[in-house]
A and B are shown apart, each in its own frame.
Chain A
């Protein structure tokens, strides 16, 4: 029996090949991301190690708070006077104050560097190779207020050279430096930090950031013979509270852990698409084995007739599946490795991590082999069991094909899947079932599976309907194609269902994205009453000094100029804050676990001048009235108040690290002085607390006392373009990074990164679609093999090769369209549930109709593409062989 099985595998190797490809693709993706994640993590770890190696102890504020807009927690500065105390401590060899702040930088043409990509940081130059963590490799170190060193990678990318000028936008205004040196991280200075770094004189950095007398942290080198632990302990004893001393080792570990967490999120996302592809591959394998077994009914029956037991039949099919899965998995690991190495090279040109060689990880190998074999065997199990039920008499009966009727048991099972799937999705989006994504995924999987199970009951009718246009195109060929598509509803459904999954997920993403984008645009267009926006052009936490707004207001023709400043804060007495406190510390991001700052809900605070701001930005009805919004009070959305059971006059308890630093415990209570009723679209679902700019300035760090955005209108009679040009000219000297943009362009610029991300997701989803197309290709080849006689007959009685090819392509188009239409239907249904789940955030359904039609048509065409080779094969059918009697 073993020999029979192995011979069979060999003789069917080409037909099994395509099955293998389906599983191979999924496995390659999963193992590839594992390898990639490993090499990226090692690269990042190497860098962090190189940068912090020379630091024995770091002294910093212990009040770290989470920030919605940055991966790293924020810490307030420490007092510069601490430096002398530390230097006087026994065992300290060197101690230096360090400054690090996010900033915006201009390229040589005067444009801000793109916001997508590595962040830009301003550092102070520390004249100690160990503590600065890097080396100047060409030119020299900066000296004096007007000189700067730049990291070599940014210099390369934007064409900066020693002797060039470099302009940065900083909270206290723009500053121009002469580049005197280029360098990088590590002893040789040949590594790039994955961030853009500008290093300048310490006093100048403090002045530009508005933090005179302060450092971001203090870094210390130990005297010979003193260990990091000893030194950290010693320094710790003399530090005031809210300031901590951490060893270099711990600093490296903590930073590595938070980077690993970010990389993990990215690689998990990519791997998720690999798992999706494997799920699709299950359908393809199931289908292939069903067909192969149907085609071998006689052979199996003969085996049974001559005495093979059911167990032996089952064993032979399982063996076949195992071999296919194993071979595909091994090849998948190899392909995944190549894929990862390639991706690493591509990524290296964006985020230069470190030149680590890609390495095959044990987890990649183990996962791949398990996934490959288990997935293949599991999906072949059904067909294998069916094979054991083939009666020996089938060997002599004329035709023995797959049974076509859909049994009652199957229908009931399908109905249960539908009910289960719908229930899981609905309960999950209402957050009755948690974690939401897992349950939505499980529900969606059940629904996709139900398509496979009950699809055959309606496959005939639907494909007849979908194929109707083809009959108009070419009556006879169209009919033959369509009849072929429906002659085996189970096979057609299984082939189409694989495509349904990929298309379904694409549709969900398309609809959800369109709904978010549409809602966002609606809200903006309804709320923003400004014609122009002055965009600070920088990343979060950077902006324009207050003089910019003053300058804009001075320009003739400008009306209603008003600004918005944003920064994070922590609320301690909201419902979410209580939930957050109930979490164990171990679930917090690594850098926050030891923070001395109280745990609460991260929120956004917005600084505005209430009257002018509401003229350019419609917040709806303000209760009791705008004049109630005064200093030392907050205005919040009505719904936020209701959710927390707050009334006007109630107090919100905040924690601001800045306040903590200035003495006291950082806790500030502000009364709710007003509510508004139109939700504000900035910041997504992060709660927003409006306050006057005076209050904002008092509570937030000085370097954040900058305007994020300025809105303005053109006065009646003034030409928009002329005014915009005048504004540009007026602000140029104070804020060269800022740009004046018409409101329409501003929306589009906001949406651009979302579109970029969506394109990436669609690109990854293509994998699942490709696997499904491999399934279509495979099924057609097998079907054509089955229909050799019929095709030969058609050729004999006068069907041209061209038409034979066309018939196969049309058949594929019908199957693919069936899969696509089901995918879109399911996808739209799922996204209805999703969008409904976001209804409390004001998200409204927007159906991207054109896009959905394009997906449907594209699906059909992709099917045709997959049919090209099978169609060619069919047209080459040997007529004489086909009509031979034996």
Chain B
């Protein structure tokens, strides 16, 4: 599926990441000492049963939430050392997001949504790059439309384009195809694959779908806040097997 050259540059990493919600009786350990690296130019899928801590891990990696203990690095920066403002700027400049839904600001047009992180940072978007991204996503004729005038698949493509446009260190996607039919979903996944292959992006994607995971370079399996397994070069069949194996 992809070339096996593993870059030695680490885009993001977690060291002994632990996240505990609540206290006493209601305490939930969502992450329990997770350590993982994400190499630059690698496409990683995170899988695991519901409640296993996938979203929690991603939120902490992306600087949306803070760990209870342990460390998270993005582009070599320890996120726990950053204050709220610096963290926000890091998210804006170094991290891209694609969520399952509600990815776009309804009052802004597609292109405005795409360049929003750069506009917020007062950076001039790299016009050539933006054009390339837009062409790759196939949205050139929809740029002035509002999100409400776009289909669900188109909206997700705009979200992916936004994540790519600012050339972040790493892109996090939480079930980006969860709300889409399989054909549209495949379009998005192909596109993300292309971003890694052609644009040298780093992507971390949470998914429940073995088919989606098969687009990645490797799959990490989470259960009860632990990494329980890892699989390089997954296929839909091998992932399904592994899931059955872990599921019992």
Residues on A facing B (Cβ under 8 Å) = 475-477, 479-480, 483-484, 487, 789-790, 793-803, 879-880, 883, 885
Contact = CB atoms under 8 A, between A and B. Distances in A.
B92 A483 contact: no
A794 B91 CA distance: 11
B94 to A, nearest CB: 9
B93 A476 contact: no
B100 interface: yes
Interface of B: 59, 62, 64-65, 84-85, 88-89, 91-93, 97, 99-108, 112, 116-117, 119-122, 162, 175, 178
Contacts, number: 73
Contact of B117 (A790, A797, A802, A803): A797
A389 B89 CA distance: 46
Nearest to B162: A797
B119 A476 contact: yes
Contacts of A476: 116, 119-120, 122
10 contacts: A476-B116, A476-B119, A789-B102, A793-B99, A797-B91, A799-B92, A801-B88, A880-B64, A883-B99, A883-B102
A475 B115 CA distance: 12
A483 B107 contact: yes
Contacts of B84: 801
A480 B88 contact: no
A800 B89 contact: yes
A482 to B, nearest CB: 9
A798 B105 contact: no
Contact of A798 (B107, B112, B117): B117
Given A796-B64, A885-B100, A475 B119 contact: yes
A295 to B, nearest CB: 16
Contacts of B120: 476-477, 794, 797-800, 803
Given A476-B119, A789-B102, A879-B64, A796 B97 contact: yes
A857 B65 CA distance: 41
Nearest to A794: B105
B103 to A, nearest CB: 7
B119 A798 contact: no
Given A796-B97, A803-B120, A790 B88 contact: no
Contacts of B97: 796-797
Nearest to A799: B120
Given A798-B117, A798-B121, A880-B64, A487 B93 contact: no
Nearest to A882: B102
A793 B107 contact: no
B135 to A, nearest CB: 22
Contact of A800 (B85, B99, B101): B85
Nearest to A483: B107
Contacts of A799: 88, 92, 120
Nearest to A399: B148
Contacts of B162: 797
Ranked nearest first, the 4 interchain pairs of A and B with the lowest CB-CB distance are A798-B92, A483-B107, A476-B119, A798-B91
Contact of B108 (A483, A795, A883): A483
B105 A800 contact: no
Nearest to A885: B100
Tell which of B65, B108, B119, B175 has the most Cβ of chain A within 10 Å. Answer: B119
**Which one of B62, B112, B175 has the greatest number of beta carbons of chain A within 10 Å?**
B112
A91 to B, nearest CB: 90
A793 B175 CA distance: 16
A797 B59 contact: no
Given A798-B89, A885-B101, 15 more contacts: A476-B116, A480-B107, A483-B108, A484-B107, A794-B105, A798-B88, A798-B117, A798-B120, A799-B88, A879-B65, A880-B65, A883-B64, A883-B99, A885-B100, A885-B175
B80 to A, nearest CB: 17
Contacts of A793: 99, 102-105
B151 to A, nearest CB: 13
A794 B103 CA distance: 9
B93 A480 contact: no
A480 B108 contact: yes
B86 to A, nearest CB: 10
A469 to B, nearest CB: 18
Given A476-B119, A480-B107, A880 B59 contact: yes
Contacts of B175: 885
A797 B102 contact: no
A108 to B, nearest CB: 64
Given A480-B107, A487-B107, A880-B59, A797 B101 contact: no
A480 to B, nearest CB: 7
Nearest to A486: B107
A204 B106 CA distance: 87
A428 B145 CA distance: 51
Nearest to B65: A880
Contacts of A479: 108, 112
Nearest to B108: A483
Given A797-B117, A800-B85, A790 B106 contact: yes
Contacts of B108: 479-480, 483
A883 B99 CA distance: 8
A879 B119 CA distance: 20
Contacts of B116: 476, 794, 797
Given A797-B116, A801-B84, A879-B64, A790 B105 contact: yes
A472 to B, nearest CB: 14
A790 B116 CA distance: 13
Given A789-B102, A883-B99, A797 B92 contact: yes
B88 A800 contact: yes
Contacts of B100: 885
Contacts of B107: 480, 483-484, 487
A325 B178 CA distance: 47
Contacts of B105: 480, 790, 793-794
Q: Which of A795, A797, A801, A885 is packed against the most chain B CB atoms within 10 Å? A: A797
A800 to B, nearest CB: 5
Candidate in A476, A487, A794 with the most chain B CB atoms within 10 angstroms? A476
A789 B99 CA distance: 12
B119 A796 contact: no
Contacts of B106: 487, 790
Contacts of B104: 793
